[in-house]
Chain A
Amino acid sequence: MLYNQKDLKVLKDEIEFIDTVIIPFAAMDMDMKAPVHAGNLELLQIVCVQLEKQFKGRLLITPPMMTVGEDTSLLGMYTTQLREYGFKNIIVLTHLQAEPGDMNKIRLNEIPLENMSDDMKMEMINDEVKTVMKSVISIWNQ
């Protein structure tokens, strides 16, 4: 499910089935590493689209949460809200090092997509998606 009016209506009735929320968490620092952050954000979004296709009925994928200076205070506030709403599993999908508190974190690899041919890109992204899917399933099986 996505954060839009149609899906949120379904979510309200099916919260016992849609028990997992994914928060894409990315940096948008305007420093030397800005191009890297931009690349990471792109990969993060592609992975989210694929995840939504595969696991639509059990995941809510929130809009990407952006941060500067690896500040995670907003993330903490948001997870409290999500728990109150009724989500059992909260998964943060990110490239960042930061260790969030009482939530699961799936760390994506930094892949320099801009220097790759299209075939290679697809392959790398598909591999990354598979890894993330496996991690999500293992969180469900905990």
Chain B
Amino acid sequence: MSQKVTRRQFLNYSLMGVGSFMAAGAILPMGRFALDPLFQGEAQGSMITTSVKAEEITEEPVKVDFSYEQQDAWYKSEVTDFVWVYRDGDQIIALSPICKHLGCTVTWAGDDANPNKFFCPCHNGLYEKNGKNIPGTPPRGPLDQYEVGESDGFITIGEMFENELV
């Protein structure tokens, strides 16, 4: 049952084989380059890792610092901000410390008369623990929330969004 391969066939096969390797060598890297942005976006994300361990977070809100680069027209600078982070059941909540009235920094339990509320020292604004503004005080809305995650046991902070707990 021997099948004879003619000289012409043999040359055809070997040329096609070598040719397709060469074509693949040129096209594959180009294709990978073209697709690269897709893989990048997924791997990097926009979460900023902090130095606070997730297991250290309790029901008492604590300050968690996070740094990022900010571009202001002409120059880039590294900015450090912080969020108030606490545990609610099995969820971790991060709230922005920026008062919704005129932008001061709020503190947890900053007012002795209100030990379980966020307090704004500028105009005595008060917020519940979930960020809800207390009627009768100046703030006009609840504190903003931040996306929170966990990476290798450390808290990560993402985008800011409007409070969804209230």
Q: Contact residues of A with B, CB < 8 Å?
A: 1, 10, 14, 17-18, 53-58, 137
Contact = CB atoms under 8 A, between A and B. Distances in A.
A16 to B, nearest CB: 10
19 contacts: A10-B102, A17-B101, A17-B123, A18-B102, A53-B105, A54-B104, A54-B105, A54-B121, A55-B104, A55-B121, A55-B122, A56-B102, A56-B103, A56-B105, A56-B122, A57-B99, A57-B103, A57-B104, A57-B120
Contacts of A54: 104-105, 121
Nearest to A54: B105
Contacts of B141: none
Contacts of B105: 53-56
A17 B101 CA distance: 10
Interface string B116-140: 0000111100000000000000100
Interface of B: 99, 101-105, 120-123, 138
Q: For the complex, would chain B's binding face be called helix, strand, loop or mixed by DSSP majority?
A: loop
A14 B121 contact: no
Given A18-B102, A55-B122, A57-B101, 12 more contacts: A1-B102, A14-B102, A17-B122, A17-B123, A54-B104, A54-B121, A55-B121, A56-B103, A57-B103, A57-B120, A57-B122, A58-B104
Contacts of B101: 17, 57
Contacts of B104: 54-58
A88 to B, nearest CB: 13
A54 B120 CA distance: 9
A17 B138 contact: yes
Contacts of B138: 17
Contacts of A17: 101-102, 122-123, 138
9 shortest interchain CB distances as A-B pairs? A57-B102, A58-B122, A56-B103, A57-B104, A57-B122, A54-B105, A57-B103, A56-B104, A55-B104
